[in-house]
Structure 1
Amino acid sequence: MPTGTAIRDVSQQLFDAAERVLLRGGPNALTSRAVTTEAGCAKGVLHRHFADFDAFLAELVTDRIDRIRTQTRSLQAAAGTSTVADNLTQALTDLFGSVAVAIVSLITARDELRTRLHQAGSSGVPVLTEATAMIASYLGAEQKKGRIASDADIDTIALTLIGTSHLLFAGRRGEAPETGEVRKIVTSVIADAAR
């Protein structure tokens, strides 16, 4: 990129580049040089906008958590529509069919990143924690509508759905599981709670 040319939405351009590198090569391939090369900009661009590479990665994770929060609002709005199993299957497919599995690998691979995220108030593995909260809030909305049993342990159901779905998606290289595989997990987990 020529010197002096303004880059629009630098953070988003760098985040998108980081995702592509992460998906292609995994956490070990993710370096500041790889990100800026993928983004088509000078290495200094990243360091002008972020204190260091771990600060950049923490912002990347935070940005992805914000996307899950947006998905949470959409999922809650779906309560009472379609079927609970269909809504959960779609939500889990959207969540784990994106870069979420790769982000989880990144968080677990980088101690400094985990430390920064925890210092910023995140707990557990931040993307998975937020995803679990998303599913639990949806199940709570369905519980209020009477489509999930009032005595169902929605927190445990949410943890189980996130954990099993993560394992299902993480065990694949380059191909997502079929919708039927995700739906099978969902229907098994919610069988006793769904009405």
Structure 2
Amino acid sequence: MPTGVAIRDPRRQLFAAAERVLLRDGPNALTSRAVTTEAGCAKGVLHRHFDDFDDFLTELVRDRVARLDDQAAALRAAAGTGTVTGHLTGALTTLFESVAVAIVGLVTSRDELRARLRRVTPAGVPLLTEATAVLAGYLTAERALGRLAEDADIAALAPTLIGTGHLLFADRTGAPPRAEDVRRAVTSVVSGVLR
């Protein structure tokens, strides 16, 4: 992009470019040069808006975590309607068909990024920890409505579902799992507590 041309919402543009690089080429290909090239801007644009590349990556992950709020609200609103298995299948698919698997790879491969994120998310894997809380909130609502057994162990079910979903979607180079495969896995995790 020529010098002096204003970029509308450079943070969003850079985050979107980083997502495209992550999805197409994986976490190892994500560099400041790759991001700015993908965004069609000078490398200096990134450094004008972020202290350094790890600051950019930290904000990218935090932005993706913040996007879970909408999914959490929609899932809680769906409690008591449809099927629990259907809602959980949809939630896992929505989460893991996005850039989430690549973000997890990015977080686990960059020590400085992990250290910075630890200040905000002290335990677990950022994004997966928050997604677990989203599912726990939904499962708690369904239990309160009597659609799950009173003794359903939400603290065990939610991370089990996230782990299962992550494993199903982890191969970013292969075909994504079929909807029926995700549903079958979800059913196997929650079948003992459904009412």
TM-score above 0.5: yes
Structure 2 length normalisation: TM-score?
0.97
Which runs of structure 2 are paired with 1:99-114 in the superposition (5 Å)? 99-114=99-114
Equivalence for 1:30: 30
- Alpha-carbon distance in structure 2 between the residues aligned to 1:61 and 1:121: 11
Q: Secondary structure at the match of 2:127?
A: helix
Structure 1 residue 119, shift from structure 2 partner: 1.7
1:184 aligns with 2:191: no
How many correspondences in the alignment?
195
Task: Identify unmatched segments of 5+ residues in structure 1.
Answer: none
- Alpha-carbon distance in structure 1 between the residues aligned to 2:3 and 2:171: 43
Which runs of structure 2 are paired with 1:108-127 in the superposition (5 Å)? 108-127=108-127
Structure 1 residue 35, shift from structure 2 partner: 0.1
Q: Deviations over 1:100-145 (max 9, x none)?
A: 0000000000000000000234421111100110111000010111
- Alpha-carbon distance in structure 2 between the residues aligned to 1:26 and 1:121: 23
1:17 aligns with 2:21: no
Larger mean CA deviation between 87-96 and 112-121 belongs to 112-121
C-alpha RMSD of matched pairs (Å): 1.0
Structure 1 length normalisation: TM-score?
0.97
Contact 1:80 1:147 in 2 (8 A): yes
- Alpha-carbon distance in structure 1 between the residues aligned to 2:3 and 2:172: 41
Q: Deviations over 1:31-85 (max 9, x none)?
A: 0000000000000000000000000000000000001122111111110111000
Q: CA, structure 1 residues 16+174, in 2 after alignment: closer, same or farther (shift >3 Å)?
A: farther
Q: CA, structure 1 residues 122+74, in 2 after alignment: closer, same or farther (shift >3 Å)?
A: farther
Equivalence for 1:64: 64
Which runs of structure 2 are paired with 1:90-101 in the superposition (5 Å)? 90-101=90-101
1:149 aligns with 2:159: no
Runs of 4+ off more than 2 Å: 120-123
The one-letter amino acid of 2:72's match is T
Equivalence for 1:158: 158
- Alpha-carbon distance in structure 1 between the residues aligned to 2:155 and 2:61: 23
- Alpha-carbon distance in structure 1 between the residues aligned to 2:155 and 2:89: 17
Larger mean CA deviation between 115-124 and 55-64 belongs to 115-124
Structure 1 residue 171, shift from structure 2 partner: 2.8
- Alpha-carbon distance in structure 1 between the residues aligned to 2:9 and 2:71: 22
Sequence identity (%): 66
- Alpha-carbon distance in structure 1 between the residues aligned to 2:59 and 2:95: 19
Task: Identify unmatched segments of 5+ residues in structure 2.
Answer: none
Equivalence for 1:44: 44
Structure 1 residue 172, shift from structure 2 partner: 4.5
